[in-house]
Amino acid sequence: MRPVLARPEQTQTSSIPAIVADAIRRAALAPSERAALDIAGGALVAVAELARVEVCLG
């Protein structure tokens, strides 16, 4: 789940290493393997979105 920004002019400072580190930490503490896979999948979606935005912005 992505953090909600307080103001639209705020930029999200997420980086791929930060997304991956957070996902690993959360997956390690997940209550089940299925939950850990959901967390990993969410991280992959976040990384793909970040890459898409970076490509669009040049």
pTM over 0.85: no
Provide the pLDDT for residue 2.
53
Contact 42, 23 (CB under 8 A): yes
Q: Report residue 29 as tokens.
A: 């503490």
What are the pLDDT digits (tens) for 9-34?
Answer: 444 557 999 999 999 999 999 999 99
Neighbouring residues of 37: CB distance < 8 A, sequence distance ≥ 6: 27
Cα separation, 40 vs 12, in Å, equals 20
With CA atoms as reference, report the closest residue to 16 among 55, 41, 40, 51. 51
